[in-house]
Amino acid sequence: MSNQTPSPRRNRKGAMQPTLNDVAREAGVSSITVSRYFTSPDNVREATRIKVEAAIEKVGYVRNMIAGSLASATSRVIPVIVPSLSNVVFIDVIKGLQDEFEAHGYQLLLGKTDYDLTRETQLIRTFLGWSAAGLVVTGLRHDAATRQILENWNQPIVEIMELGEGLDLNVGMDHVAAGRAMTEHLLARGYRDIHFAGAELDRDYRAAMRYTGHREALAAAGIEEAPLLDLPVRQQMTSGAQALERIRDQHPECDAIHFANDDMACGAILAASRLGIRIPDDIAIAGFNGLPIGEHVTPQLTTIISPREQIGRVAARKLLARINGEPVGELSHDLGFTLRVGGST
Amino acid sequence: MSNQTPSPRRNRKGAMQPTLNDVAREAGVSSITVSRYFTSPDNVREATRIKVEAAIEKVGYVRNMIAGSLASATSRVIPVIVPSLSNVVFIDVIKGLQDEFEAHGYQLLLGKTDYDLTRETQLIRTFLGWSAAGLVVTGLRHDAATRQILENWNQPIVEIMELGEGLDLNVGMDHVAAGRAMTEHLLARGYRDIHFAGAELDRDYRAAMRYTGHREALAAAGIEEAPLLDLPVRQQMTSGAQALERIRDQHPECDAIHFANDDMACGAILAASRLGIRIPDDIAIAGFNGLPIGEHVTPQLTTIISPREQIGRVAARKLLARINGEPVGELSHDLGFTLRVGGST
DNA sequence: CTGAAAGCGCTAACAT
DNA sequence: ATGTTAGCGCTTTCAG
């Protein structure tokens, strides 16, 4: 009525996109009926539905998610916040999340903190401005500002990777237990002088949790010392090779290295074959993650398979369940892990 | 005026978020001034700016991007469409894109086609409903529907990975030339019976382009036959190992394998060491991508380093330049590649 | 099952 | 440099 120009109209940018009204006019119904065709088709009669469908096709209508989100104060966007994209672990998790979200018509908005909790706060603030339907965030450690924002936000949240007391939902595995399990395996194999090697464990605090488990297992076996080598990160495989050389050099009595991840462990195995170090006779090597490469090196790597992609999938499913008001089961979901024994131990 | 309830008000979801108006009232200015504080701070006087800042802090205002996008018919969201997240190549590209976008206040919306062009069309349709500021899409091959939508869309687009006649901007490398370069290297080394091995080359058509270059190089050397092994994809390293065995078995005269990627090539090198096949004496191995692992296997892998992350960065920068109306330089940007010769050839 | 009215929170396009 | 007015295109609410 107030608009003089008939369809097609142009928006302020000069573009010319058909709107719900254009479809409605074409179909001979009101715009709200077309809206309902999208949001709750069950409330639209078959005959009307067909008319609307034809009109949509005819005018080439594309739903404007922005307008819909403004009106409904919620959007089908789900921000996912990870610390890094250089780590396969998060890539696999994202893959799981993406698959599930995409299948259910939700969009994944990707944010990266570089392990900076302040950056995390900023990202979350921005993302909440998108009226997100939910949020996926890595880890249970956040700064006070983040925690305050999220506690006042009444949409579902999943914290992934670890287990514990969280903000809302929580999907992951027990890293302390994983570290313990691997070291128990090494002890059972008869290794006694076991070193733990990681890279920047203060940042990668989940690896530090595995070191804690490692120490616990040693202590339980009456071994009080748990030697630790914490290297600066360069390239992970290179760090692994370096760790092997360093430990062989400074601690010739060491009979096994428990690496913080498979990249480092494989770097060590490949370096060993270059240097003529026999694995596991001269020294045993263990990793963590269960990456494909571990099965291709000689000897095959003993490692713990982490349920990375599944963490993504389950996290997504729980979040969507909560968004749709369905039951989510237990708040904290432990996906476990599997020890895969190769020839390297 | 028309609103009876004073601040703070509640939106339709029952949540209670302060709006621009709340900030404006607090600061004693009009809402548009607060808006300008965000969008063009240079047009706001220092004194006003300070008042506004204090008010924002006081009421805990968070910008509502949705409302802003609706009003301005453009959002700071950039959809990125890739075929797969299982391929490191795209991960590295995404990393480059994400870094640049995040640094400039743009959000990356992630879409995955699984190499299905119809899915690509759907994704693009959905994403355009987000009033995206631009679009990043993989490859130059799209179906008719996609092409039609994008030709009528007047926002910047970057097609990445390949080079050629595109929709708009275009950042990548010349895959035919890369394939040619590697095979010229192999020929220069004296290899004559060179096989090309890939996995699902119909899907991975950029690898098929490298095969084309490979064939060209052979033809230029007077070799008319270019034997090809195209395996079904399982795990890439496993396929590489399999290819090595298959070729050794069926073509004992073959003296070099040109693999479609580093994963396969490294799978072959690792398998060779298991099987007692000497590289490069018994057979030479070449890859493509320049992944870290290639430097850690023995012998080191001869490969072509693709500028993956840089493709992401440059693509992002060109897109942002165009969004901001700055000059973008040439439409098609060739990032080249580097041959890295290891001991495997 | 369908419609009319109202407005989500912001910004473009003029003013001043 | 700041304000006024009028929507952006959709969904909510309330009627029928």
3-state SS, A37-49, equals: HHHCHHHCCHHHH
B329 SS3 class: coil
The nearest CA of chain B is from the CA of A192 a distance in Å of: 29
**Distance, CA of A177 to CA of A188 (rounded, Å):** 16
Residue B154 has its nearest CB partner, among A15, A72, A298, at: A15
Residue B129 has its nearest CB partner, among A64, A86, A95, at: A64
Tokens of B51: 């008042």
Q: Please check the confidence at residue A287 and state whether its pLDDT lies above 80.
A: yes
Output the pLDDT for position B141: 94
pLDDT digits (tens, 9 = 90+) for A150-188: 988 889 999 999 999 999 999 999 999 999 999 999 999
Residue ranges matching CATH 1.10.260.40 in chain A:
20-63
pLDDT digits (tens, 9 = 90+) for B131-158: 999 999 999 999 999 998 898 888 999 9
**Distance, CA of B329 to CA of A288 (rounded, Å):** 46
Put simply, the answer to whether B293 touches A237 (Cβ < 8 Å) is: yes
- Highest mean pLDDT: which of A66-80, A107-121, A178-192, B57-71? A178-192
Q: Are A301 and A294 in contact (CB under 8 A)?
A: yes
- Report chain A residues whose CB lies below 8 A from the CB of B63: 126, 129
pLDDT digits (tens, 9 = 90+) for B237-280: 999 999 999 999 999 999 999 999 999 999 999 999 999 999 99
Q: Please check the confidence at residue A10 and state whether its pLDDT lies above 70.
A: no
Segments of chain B scoring below 70 in pLDDT: 1-16
Put simply, the answer to whether B296 touches A94 (Cβ < 8 Å) is: no
Tokens of B290: 């320049």
- Residue to mutate among B88, B296, B297, B323, with most A CBs inside 10 A, is B296
Q: What's the Rg (C-alpha) of chain B?
A: 26
Pairing of the two strands B256-259 and B194-199:
parallel
**Distance, CA of A40 to CA of A47 (rounded, Å):** 15
Output the pLDDT for position A97: 97
pLDDT digits (tens, 9 = 90+) for B275-296: 999 999 999 999 999 999 999 9
Q: Are A256 and A272 in contact (CB under 8 A)?
A: no
pLDDT digits (tens, 9 = 90+) for A191-246: 999 999 999 999 999 999 999 999 999 999 999 999 999 999 889 999 999 999 99
Q: Which amino acid is at B117?
A: L
The nearest CA of chain B is from the CA of A116 a distance in Å of: 14
Please state whether strand D lies within 7 Å of residue B27 at its CB atom. no
Output the pLDDT for position B116: 93
Per-residue pLDDT band at A14 (split at 50, 70, 90): very low
Can you say whether the dihedral through the CA atoms of A146, A147, A149, A154 is positive or negative?
Answer: positive
Using the structure, give the distance in angstroms from the CA atom of A249 to the C1' atom of D13, rounded to a whole number. 76
- Residue to mutate among A16, A110, A150, with most B CBs inside 10 A, is A110
**Distance, CA of B137 to CA of A34 (rounded, Å):** 31
3-state SS, B167-192, equals: CCEEEECCHHHHHHHHHHHHHHCCCC
The nearest CA of chain B is from the CA of A69 a distance in Å of: 7
Residues 6+ apart with CB under 8 A from A163: A170, A172, A173, A174, A332, A334
Residue ranges matching CATH 3.40.50.2300 in chain B:
75-173+308-335, 175-305
Fold (CATH) for B175-305: Rossmann fold (3.40.50)
The values of phi and psi at residue A289, to 5°, are 135, -40
Average pLDDT value for residue range A288-311? 97
Using the structure, give the distance in angstroms from the CA atom of B9 to the C1' atom of C13, rounded to a whole number. 28
The CATH architecture that domain A75-173+308-335 belongs to is: 3-Layer(aba) Sandwich (3.40)
Q: Which of A87, A309, A338 is nearest to A206 (CA)?
A: A87
| Residues 7-26 of chain B in contact with strand D via CB under 7 angstroms | 12
Output the pLDDT for position B337: 98
The whole-chain average pLDDT of chain B stands at 92
Output the pLDDT for position A5: 33
Q: Are B82 and B109 in contact (CB under 8 A)?
A: no
Of all residues in chain A, the percent with pLDDT exceeding 90 is 80
Residue A67 has its nearest CB partner, among B12, B70, B273, at: B70
Q: Which CATH superfamily is domain B20-63 in?
A: lambda repressor-like DNA-binding domains (1.10.260.40)
Using the structure, give the distance in angstroms from the CA atom of A59 to the C1' atom of D11, rounded to a whole number. 21
Q: Please check the confidence at residue A11 and state whether its pLDDT lies above 90.
A: no
Residue B125 has its nearest CB partner, among A62, A73, A273, at: A62
Tokens of B314: 């440059």
pLDDT digits (tens, 9 = 90+) for A139-148: 999 999 999 8
Helix (H) or strand (E) holding B101: helix B88-103
Can you say whether the dihedral through the CA atoms of B183, B189, B195, B198 is positive or negative?
Answer: negative
